[in-house]
Amino acid sequence: MKGYRREEFELLRRAIFFNWASLSPPPRSAIERLKRTLMFDERDTIPLEKQSEQMRNEAATLLNARQSEIACPGSSTTQGIQLAIDSINPSAGENMVTASIEFPTAGFEAIRLRRKGVEVRVADCGDGRVDADRIEKLADDRTRVILVSGVNWITGYRTDIRRIAEIAENRGAYLVVDAVQQMGASAIDVRRTEPDFIAAGGQKWLFSPFGAALLFVNRKRSDELEEPYPSLNNTVEPEEGWPSYFANEENDPFDVRQPVRTARRFEHGGWLNHFGMIGLAESLKIINSIGIERVERRIGELYDYAAEQIQNAGGRIISSLEPDERSSILTFRLRDSWKSHLDIVNALAARGCILSCRGAAGVGGIRMAIHCFNDEEDVDRMMEEIRRF
């Protein structure tokens, strides 16, 4: 069976690509849309601000969220996470709970928080699993933030976000979810899981051609927390409109503030990356047109097929094979040394077979990232190359 909408990706015609968890090729439809926008094509008569609103609508559809709960925090997951934590603003004597195999963003946030006197508690996840029980044991009534990934970047382990959201609520803490390895490949229903924040860059499973990210802010938090960076982007437009306001010589630049009451409170700066948002909107449309349930189901079929082939070739699967724990990342080992795995990945790339090598905290291997645009022939061709080793 051929992958869904495979024709969107020119790279799939000339390479065996299983690196969607790192940096994905952009789809043809998004490239064409951006070409028209950048050339000010007369067919695109809608203002940039209105075009970029489509990203919020498509993201809301994918997450089962409200459009008012979606913000564009910048170009990366990291920026979304930092905005969330800055708005929560933990203070000395409070703590953040996270996991030992989180992406380095968690480590950088730990540096910032420790400088303020905030304790950082790290759950030992040396088996590659971000288990909710381990998070619960570390959380107490002084826990202000719980930061975890929806899908782990090394093993692909799928975290029980609903359970951790309940832990956060019971402790009076906020749950911040790094969803960059989940959104676009696995279903996320924010009405069911109830996280406070979800951050995701568009360059991985959402295959966005420009640097844009999104941030889900639970509607309960839009009024409860202050935006960390007041700016024009998160200020209500004056009644007379910005052009008239900027032309009025009697205006006081220190008396312009009326914050918006939606997730846009977490957008800051003087100008948003509208082109990036338009590109991300086109990619989100592709996912929504297929349907995230079909996307996830197709990935599961390829996951099973690839896991069987890898095991038959003598490889050892590191990722979970349990339906409730696995995702779109299939990590495996062929050798004992991570340096040997890196050599293999580099040699495969030279032959047009693109995977990655990932590891931390004693866990790792060769990471195969499978999307619904792949097919069984891709797996077979990959295995032909792997058997050389």
The boundaries of every CATH 3.90.1150.10 domain in the chain are 6-26+292-386
Superfamily of domain covering 6-26+292-386: Aspartate Aminotransferase, domain 1 (3.90.1150.10)
- Closest Cα partner for 262 from 101, 53, 78? 53
Q: Cβ–Cβ contacts within 10 Å for residue 2, how many?
A: 11
> What pLDDT is recorded for position 183?
98
CA–CA distance, 130 with 149 (Å, rounded to integer): 8
> What pLDDT is recorded for position 224?
85
The boundaries of every CATH 3.40.640.10 domain in the chain are 29-288
Confidence of residue 272 (pLDDT cuts 50, 70, 90): confident
Least confident among 74-88, 264-278, 288-302: 264-278
CA 230 to chain centre: 25
Give the model confidence (pLDDT) of 128-183 as tens digits.
Answer: 999 999 999 999 999 999 999 999 999 999 999 999 999 999 999 999 999 999 99
> What pLDDT is recorded for position 332?
97
> What pLDDT is recorded for position 239?
87
The whole-number average pLDDT for the span 3-16 is 93
H-state helical runs in 189-337: 190-193, 219-224, 242-247, 274-290, 292-312
Q: What percent of the chain stands above pLDDT 90?
A: 76
> What pLDDT is recorded for position 364?
94
Confidence of residue 37 (pLDDT cuts 50, 70, 90): confident
Confidence of residue 197 (pLDDT cuts 50, 70, 90): very high
Question: Which CATH class name applies to 29-288?
Answer: alpha beta
Segment (H or E) for 159:
none
Contacts of 42 (CB under 8 A, 6+ apart): none
> What pLDDT is recorded for position 85?
97
Torsion sign (Cα): 274, 278, 279, 283: positive
Token representation of residue 195: 């996280």
> What pLDDT is recorded for position 56?
95
CA–CA distance, 256 with 279 (Å, rounded to integer): 32
Buried (b) or exposed (e) across 76-96, using 16+ Cβ within 10 A?
Answer: bbbbbbbbbbbbbebeeebbb
CA–CA distance, 267 with 274 (Å, rounded to integer): 12
Confidence of residue 43 (pLDDT cuts 50, 70, 90): low
The whole-number average pLDDT for the span 193-202 is 97
> Given the DSSP bridges, would you call strands 143-149 and 95-99 parallel, antiparallel or unpaired?
parallel
The yes-or-no verdict on residue 45 having pLDDT over 70 is no
Q: What share of the chain is helix, strand, coil (3-state, %, to 5)?
A: 40, 15, 40
> What pLDDT is recorded for position 49?
72
CA–CA distance, 304 with 298 (Å, rounded to integer): 10
Confidence of residue 238 (pLDDT cuts 50, 70, 90): confident
Task: Give all strands of the β-sheet with 70-71 in edge-to-edge order.
Answer: 70-71, 213-217, 197-201, 174-178, 143-149, 95-99, 119-123
In the beta sheet, which residues pair with residue 123? 99
Which range scores top for mean pLDDT: 69-73, 223-227, 237-241?
A: 69-73
> What pLDDT is recorded for position 54?
92
Give me the torsion for CA of 324, 79, 271, 45, rounded to 10°.
-20
- For the whole model, what pTM was predicted? 0.94
The yes-or-no verdict on residue 109 having pLDDT over 90 is yes
> What pLDDT is recorded for position 282?
95
Mean pLDDT score of the chain = 93
5: left (phi over 0), alpha (psi -120 to 50) or beta: left
Which range scores top for mean pLDDT: 49-63, 105-119, 230-244?
A: 105-119
The yes-or-no verdict on residue 268 having pLDDT over 90 is no
